[in-house]
Amino acid sequence: MRITPSTARTRESSVPWADSAVIAVRGLRKVYEVPEREGGVRAAAGSLFRRRTREVVAVSGIDFAIQPGEVVGFLGPNGAGKTTTLKMLSGLLYPTSGEASVLGFTPWRRDRAYLGRMTLIMGQRNQLTWDIPVIDSYELNRAIFRIPWPEYRRRRDELIDLLEIGELVRKPVRNLSLGERMKCEIAGSLLHQPTVLFLDEPTIGLDVGMQRRIRAFIADYNERYDATILLTSHYMADVEALCRRVIVIHHGSLLYDGDLPGLVRRFSPHKTITVEFEEGFSQAPGERLAALIAPAGEVVEQSAIGATLRVPKAETARVTGRLLAELPIADLTVEDPPIEEVIERVFSSGSSEAPGQDQVAAEITREAERR
Amino acid sequence: MATLPVAEQPVAEFERLSLSALLEFYGAKFRTELALQFAYRGALAIWLLSLVSQPLISLVVWTTVAETNGGSAGGFTAGEYAAYFVILMVVNQLTFSWHMWEFEWRVRTGFFSPVLLRPLHPVHNDIIENLTFKALTLVALLPIAVTLGFAFDARFAPSLADVVAFGPALVLAMALRFLVEWTVALAAFWMTRTMAVNQVFGVLSFFLSGLIAPLALFPAPVQVAAAILPFRWSVAFPVELAQGQLSGVEILLGLLAQVIWIVLAVVLLRLVWRHGVRRYSAVGA
């Protein structure tokens, strides 16, 4: 583990269960108590005397461990408990129960030594002071994190260089665009060179070019400093570019923890077959096509020159063989569905009764039970 | 650039919060806060106006009462009233804080999160914000107070001991009022709307701190309450001292009361903070 030896000894011994992990979480749970009442004056008056509260389980007992230098994607639909987990790990929130150890510290004790070694960057929240030039906020961070002046100048200039924000740092934050602000925010959050980074939607609302640059920067930071990064994003491009490993949570529970291809294998029981017919084959194959891929396959899209089909994984070989034998096919490709689609199916399965999702839902239940 | 393995990089010793580190933060925050306050010049002027107007109204009312009463009322002459309220204007400006009114917003919107993530207790952020605002407004307020003192013929006769004791009494009053009000502000962790709590505290403070009138004018039970609670020690005491109303023993006892209350307030603040911050739900942020 990469923290100063003096603290490493005392901290690590207190959490033997964390082993060599930088971030370790055990049975972490957060329940919010939310006041609840009907709308209207009557209900409002009633709540004066009897306040009703409802418990909302945001995170319901999750476990995982992240090793030094890993970049892990933390995925889940809105309200899955991602941000709540990040807030607990960064020390903003007390959990209802469970344990966590980050760099050997219990985050919510908010030990100064811990806060000085990690950072939490939120795409929709600003820590830079709105009305003063960015560089002034940086200097304040220098004092807060007690970075020696020469070290500070070196890091600041390097970050300004890498993020190409030389033009921006003399302007007040309020005069910056969303993307510019995000870049300045990232630089400000890394001045103290944290070894653990929690990134919550770091590319939200940014254009594609900016997203790509921030992605490259994060990858570079990880490589340079062997930093451990836990990142949430709704953009699968971020996750595909940065994370070898993903952790998926849904309704506060862990659904999957492993590599990206594994996620596709586990949660997408289908393959997509795209066929292109030979020229001159003008008759619409409609019913014939449907008959060929029956019973489990389905035609997603078709035209006079080709079709896109979705078939169960186990049927792929059989269906492909039949298509090639029965129809004048010029080209045929078999693919996994795009990662976005898989994720979408995983997310929607827990909450809706949409037909065709049963299989995924069953898979998720099995997965949950196994844990 | 050099890519040192992280283990070999210099890491600040966060465990020990040294005074020099704190002063460095105060210095840096003072500079940014100064820039910020200048960005809000208009707001600053309006604040200043409210800081002047409230004691000024009391001043006019009480000197008028004394004069129509044949020169004195409740044992104070018009000149003594003038002195009381002119000094009060300065002491109130130096001791007041606004965090009670800001905390609810901070907690409810999650704007507290960035401050919580710093390796530094959030109270330091507010201490220096408070001091910067005061340093700035004092520059404008002092000439106003002096002018009013002459205009209303303020009469006060502090002894040498009073003058010497005024400095510490004022600093202790500033610390005490800040600590107490910051602790009250933490109610925001338990309640969504703290307006009522603030209002009750504000009214108590208005009467028991000597802001509306010198405490000597109040019935004995009120005076006892003001002396047992921190109120007298956070505003009225330094004013009375500067006026030359207090004996040597009273001054020493007053300073002692201030110190005792500050110790209590620090203990209370830490206790309330520890429990309150657990309830922080970092909404939105």
Residue-level pLDDT at A171: 93
pLDDT at A16 over 80: no
Residues A293-310: b if buried by 16+ CB within 10 A, e if exposed: beeebeeeebeeebbbbb
Amino acid, res. B20: S
B284 interaction partners in chain A (CB closer than 8 Å): 125
Which residue of B36, B114, B277 is in closest CB contact with A131? Answer: B36
Q: How far is A134 from chain B (nearest CA, A)?
A: 11
Q: What is the pLDDT averaged over residues B177-195?
A: 92
**Which residue segments constitute the domains of chain A, with CATH numbers given?**
5-28+60-262 (3.40.50.300), 269-335 (3.30.70.1150)
Q: How far is A333 from chain B (nearest CA, A)?
A: 45
Least confident piece of the model among A298-307, B5-14, B37-46: B5-14
Name the range with the highest mean pLDDT among A2-16, A22-36, A329-343.
A22-36
pLDDT band at A282 (very low <50, low <70, confident <90, very high): low
pLDDT band at A11 (very low <50, low <70, confident <90, very high): very low
pLDDT at A291 over 80: no
**Cα separation, A33 vs A53, whole angstroms:** 6
Here the ipTM equals 0.84
pLDDT band at B10 (very low <50, low <70, confident <90, very high): very low
**Cα separation, A213 vs A33, whole angstroms:** 40
pLDDT at A304 over 90: no
Residue-level pLDDT at B168: 97
Cross-chain residue pair B10–A151, CB shorter than 8 Å:
yes
Least confident piece of the model among A99-108, A288-297, A351-360: A351-360
pLDDT band at B2 (very low <50, low <70, confident <90, very high): very low
How is residue B216 annotated by DSSP? G
Amino acid, res. B29: K
In sequence order, which residues have a C-beta less than 8 Å from that of residue A355 and are 6 or more positions away? none
Cross-chain residue pair B32–A158, CB shorter than 8 Å:
no
Q: What is the pLDDT averaged over residues A270-288?
A: 75
- pLDDT per residue as tens digits for the range B215-263: 999 999 999 999 999 999 999 999 999 999 899 999 999 999 999 999 9
Percent of all residues in chain A with a pLDDT value above 70, rounded to a whole number: 86
For every residue of chain A, which 3-state class applies, written as one string? CCCCHHHHHHHHHHCHHHCCCCEEEEEEEEEEEEECCCCCHHHHHHHHHCCCEEEEEEEEEEEEEECCCCEEEEECCCCCCHHHHHHHHHCCCCCCEEEEEECCECHHHCCHHHHCCEEEEECCCCCCCCCCEHHHHHHHHHHHCCCCHHHHHHHHHHHHHHHCCCCCCCCEHHHCCHHHHHHHHHHHHHCCCCCEEEEECCCCCCCHHHHHHHHHHHHHHHHHHCCEEEEECCCHHHHHHHCCEEEEEECCEEEEEEEHHHHHHHHCCEEEEEEEECCCCCCCCHHHHHHHHCCCCEEEEECCCEEEEEEEHHHHHHHHHHHHHHCCEEEEEEECCCHHHHHHHHHHHHHCCCCCCHHHHHHHHHHHHHC
Q: Which two tokens stand for residue A358?
A: 């049963």
Residue-level pLDDT at B5: 43
Note which residues in 115-154 of chain A have CB less than 8 A from chain B: 115-117, 119-120, 122, 125-127, 129, 131-132, 136-137, 139-140, 142-148, 151, 154
Place of tokens 């770091």: A202
List strand residue ranges (DSSP E) for B17-163, in order: 72-73, 76-77
Amino acid, res. A234: H
Beta bridge partners of B232: none
Q: What is the pLDDT averaged over residues A196-207?
A: 90
Find out whether the peptide bond into A337 is cis, omega within 30 degrees of 0.
no
- pLDDT per residue as tens digits for the range B72-104: 888 899 999 999 999 999 999 999 999 999 998
More confident residue, B180 or A47: B180
Which residue of B1, B113, B119 is in closest CB contact with A116? Answer: B119
Query: CA B150, B155, B156: angle at the middle one, nearest 5?
Result: 120
Residue-level pLDDT at A4: 43
Place of tokens 């990142």: A231
Note which residues in 162-221 of chain A have CB less than 8 A from chain B: 172, 192-193, 195
pLDDT band at B214 (very low <50, low <70, confident <90, very high): very high
Residue-level pLDDT at B38: 81
Instruction: State the average pLDDT for chain A.
Output: 83
Least confident piece of the model among A42-56, A292-306, B10-24: B10-24
Whether B42 has its CB under 8 Å from any CB of chain A: the answer is no
- pLDDT per residue as tens digits for the range A224-262: 999 999 999 888 889 989 999 999 998 899 989 999 888
Closest CA to A244 of A219, A221, A226: A219
Least confident piece of the model among A10-19, A358-367, B96-105: A358-367
pLDDT at B131 over 70: yes
Residue-level pLDDT at A22: 94
A90 interaction partners in chain B (CB closer than 8 Å): 117
How is residue B83 annotated by DSSP? H
More confident residue, A348 or A107: A107
In sequence order, which residues have a C-beta less than 8 Å from that of residue B266 and are 6 or more positions away? B179
pLDDT at A49 over 90: no
pLDDT band at A15 (very low <50, low <70, confident <90, very high): low
Residue-level pLDDT at A10: 41
Q: How far is A102 from chain B (nearest CA, A)?
A: 15
Cross-chain residue pair B281–A32, CB shorter than 8 Å:
yes
Per this entry, what is the length of chain A?
371
